[in-house]
Amino acid sequence: MNRFEKVFARPGHKALVAFVTIGYPSVATTLETVPKLVEHGCDIIELGIPFSDPLADGATLQEASYLALKQGVNPDECFRVAAQLRPKVEAPLVFLTYYNPVLARGQEKFCRDAAAAGIDGFIIPDLPPQEAEDLEAHGCREGVSLIYMLAPNSPDYRIKIAAERGSGFLYLVSLTGVTGARSALPKDLEDFVARVRKITPRPLCVGFGISTPDQARRVARIADGVIVGSRLVQLMKEGDERKLLSWIDEMRAALDGVASSEQ
């Protein structure tokens, strides 16, 4: 049983997935914060590799990526950070990256280096499954999952391909747009998740726009996991660790409350 399977094998448990940009606001902060996020109930950690043109990211994550790049945080540094984190946490570590850094390094080498650093999976927003066969093969040989993203406007055939070709879990984007904390989630989110449920039994995690316990509860009632990113990065920018971890505790409690009510 791999690390993803262990997360989703817990009966009734709702996974809390946390995104951080590597090197923002500093590499030291990344190394200090990630283990604390896991201690406070995060089940999976997404490590964002800073990129110059993050098309799926809103203003908060674009700024984080830009400032990390200014500090010299390149893919080599990201592999080093992952390797330092791996002995400190049991949670799955996922690289969120755009395809260009993978292509520049070479798909086989990227997968090999990621596995050596303890990475469990990749999320690559600009790489559709129809074009990922080679990377899937390299990742499979190294034991690294390729996690695909689906949007509310994804047709059924795309959902089927992503479910059949990917592994780990499916990343459901709550809305058609970019990342960012929002005051409300789409009214038709339940319909989108239900449509994917009819096609695949694979674990479903929902991200984009989730920033409050009430939003997390709504998502947890229909999905297997909740992904938080922009609000978390905002709190890291503020530099108040107590406030950040208190917010994580609130999100964890919201998910646990839903799990308890379903048992």
Residues with catalytic roles:
46, 57
The rounded distance, in Å, linking the Cα atoms of 167 and 5 is: 10
The rounded distance, in Å, linking the Cα atoms of 129 and 147 is: 9
The answer to whether residues 146 and 122 touch, using CB atoms and an 8 Å cutoff, is yes
The rounded distance, in Å, linking the Cα atoms of 183 and 202 is: 29
Q: What angle do CA 54, 60, 63 make, to 5 degrees?
A: 65
3-state secondary structure of 153: coil
The rounded distance, in Å, linking the Cα atoms of 168 and 163 is: 10
If one counts every other C-beta atom within 10 angstroms of the C-beta of residue 157, the result is: 9
